[in-house]
Structures are given as C-alpha cells and as structure tokens.
A and B are shown apart, each in its own frame.
Chain A
Amino acid sequence: MNPENELSSNNPSPRAGSWPLWEVFIRSRQGLDHKHAGSLHAADARMAIENARDVYTRRMEGVSIWVVESRHLHASDPDEAGALYDPANDKIYRHPTFYVLPDELKNM
C-alpha cells in the first residue's frame, strides 16, 4: 500500500478523502461501448474495479468495467464553450444526412 493511502494510527477511521477518486465506465450486456457510470473511492486500481462491481453492477448492469483515476481525466473549460462548440451550429453539411446508408450497415 502506498504511504499516502495508509490507514494510519493517527487516522483510525479513514474518510473517503484519504483514497483517490476513480471514474467508472461500464459496458452493459447489449452495449457496444463503455459508458460513464459514476465515480468512487479506492486505494488502487484493483480495489476500484471491485468497488465498481459492488456499487455499479449489483443489478446486472454490466459485463465489463473500466476504471481510471479521476486525476488522469482532462476536461474542457466551460468558459470556452462558445469558442469550442458554437462554430459548429451553422454547418449542417457536416452531418451525414445527405447520404443513403446501405442496409448492411448496422449500429450507425
């Protein structure tokens, strides 16, 4: 166990704050992709997967679990939303709605 995660004597009842936060992604039985299910605390990756199993798959929600420490996720800045997303508003030609999809093509 890493020293920073320890259940040390001066902290006899560890709070969630002493363990890092993890983001959980679950693939459901019919699902093709892993979807964000929520977050939880765990001391390491193996415990994070076990915790995710116990917290997020109790009702048969999933057949596969990914976890990643939250600090490894980088998010876009909400203040920049205008610059980032608004320019796409008037460019409908970017949608593939002008094509006829072949029947063989599934999952589009």
Chain B
Amino acid sequence: MRRDQHIHYLLHLADDSLILGHRNSEWTGHGPILEQDIALSNISLDLIGQARNLYQYAARLVNRERGMKEKVLPGVKVSGEVSEDTLAYFRDSRDYKNCLLVEQPNGDWGKTVLRQFLFSAFQFLLYDRLKQRDDQQVAAIAEKSIKEVAYHLRWSSEWVIRLGDGTAESHRRMRHALEDLWLFTGELFVAAPYEQELLAEGYGADLSSCRLPWEDTILETLARAGLFPPEDGTSNGSAHTGSAIMTRSRAGGKEGQHTEHLGYLLAEMQFLQRAYPGCEW
C-alpha cells in the first residue's frame, strides 16, 4: 500500500466528519429549542472527535517518513512536525477531501437534519465495513464511532419523518431540502483514485456494496415521511448499476474540487489559527 494514498484516504474520512461537525456546530446557540440545540451540538462533538482520531493517525504517518509532508501536503507552509491541528487548520480548500454533501450550507432545520440523515445512513454502512478491515487503527476508530453514527442516524431519521409527515409547510421545506441535497449523494458511492487503490489491496471499503443498503434505508424512511427522491430525467449515466434510483450527481469533493461554500467555511474555521498560529485558549 502506498503510504501517500493511505494518508489521502484518512484525510478524506476525517474531512467528512470535521466539515459536517463544523456545519452542525454553526447551530450551537441558534437551535430551534434548547434540547435540540444540545442534541445537534452533541452530534458535532461526536463528529469532530472522529475527525481528531483520524487526523492524529494521519499525522503520525506523515511524520514517520521523510519527505511525506511535502508529498501529501504541498500547500501546507508550517514548519516542524505535522499535528492534527496542522491538518485541520492549515490546509486549503483544494487539499480538503470531504464529499460535497457535508459542506452544503445548513439552510433551515429541515435541510440540516436531512443532510445528517443522508450522510449518517452512508457513514453507518461505511464504518461497518471499515471495522472489519486490515488497517487496525481505522478498524478501531470505526468500531468506536459506529455507535455514535447509529444514534445520529436514529435522531435524524426521526426528524425527517416528523417534518416530512408534519404540516404542509414542514413537508414543503423537506421536499425542497431533498431537491437541494439529492444530487450530492451520488458522490458518496464513487471511489476516488486513492480509494480504488486501497481497495485493490484489501484496505478501505467497497463503496458499491454500500449503495443498495443505503437506498433501502433512505427509501424506507422517506416513505414514512411521505417524501420521494427527486425524479430525474437527466441522468448522465454516472457510475452505478443495479441502482433503484437514477441520480444525476455532482462529484469532485473527494479530490479537492469543492463547491464555493467550503472556502467560506474554512475561512471562518481556520481564521484564528492562521492569524495566530499555535495559539491556545
């Protein structure tokens, strides 16, 4: 296994969790009701905790080999050893490898819970596979995290049903949220080059095997919510077969090509460390 591809993969997993955790944390203090403000903030902390574990592991691998930092983090201009903070705060948008779904703006509460639902349903299947894989560190992180993910999925499913099957307005908002977010779900199942390479050597997870169980979970919950995935007449035949749902999808995030939203998120998240490197509080 090429170590640089391995590190790219770890960063991808960590970035998914960090960016979604940060997005959710934007609700802290602004939640619709105190109890749900706390619930979503707890989910943020779970996700950021997952990211920390993965970044710490990636940082150890970067530091272990001479020249690796320059190879996998060419844009990072920080001297000395790489840490979890280096990885979170000193990479630019193009170095981030999260999927596009998690960086989408919060919108209203409905869109936020739907984004969580679509991602958690996927993350559960992914971590379920990773906890059985050869990389002991990743397997241990997945094993620990999957209980958190199971709760995120339960919590967000409840909300999707509650709002989809709620009032005329909540239903309308959920329908719009689904239309907004749906085209970012295809990317979850398309392997980036580093994932293909790892999979060939028995690491990582086979994303194509996640697709159908994901659709089962999604469709069952959406049906209970009275919602349906958007009709799609413009499929470009993207990379999945046997799928019950045709998706026109947008991809590229896993290789650093992001929507315009990520830059603003990073500017806010990274400002303090960039202005005052190494500062603590």
Contact = CB atoms under 8 A, between A and B. Distances in A.
Interface in B15-44: 32-36, 38-39, 42
B165 A58 contact: no
A26 to B, nearest CB: 15
Contacts of B32: 7, 13-14
Question: For chain A, which range describes its interface: under 10, 10 to 19, 20 to 34, or 35 or more residues?
Answer: 20 to 34
A9 to B, nearest CB: 5
Contacts of B168: 9
Given A46-B158, A50-B39, A50-B155, A14 B33 contact: yes
Contacts of A55: 35, 38
Contact of B167 (A1, A15, A40, A42): A1
Contacts of A43: 162
B166 A1 contact: yes
Given A50-B155, A50-B158, A58-B42, A7 B169 contact: yes
Interface string B144-181: 00000000001100100011011111100000000000
Given A50-B158, A54-B39, A54-B42, A16 B33 contact: yes
B33 A6 contact: no
A47 B34 CA distance: 13
A67 B78 CA distance: 52
Interface residues of B, number: 19
B167 A51 contact: no
B151 to A, nearest CB: 8
A6 B158 contact: no
Interface in A36-63: 40-43, 46-47, 50-51, 54-55, 58
A20 B38 CA distance: 18
Interface of A: 1, 6-9, 13-16, 19, 40-43, 46-47, 50-51, 54-55, 58
Given A41-B34, A51-B38, 14 more contacts: A1-B167, A6-B166, A7-B163, A7-B169, A7-B170, A14-B33, A19-B33, A41-B33, A46-B158, A50-B155, A51-B35, A54-B38, A54-B42, A58-B42
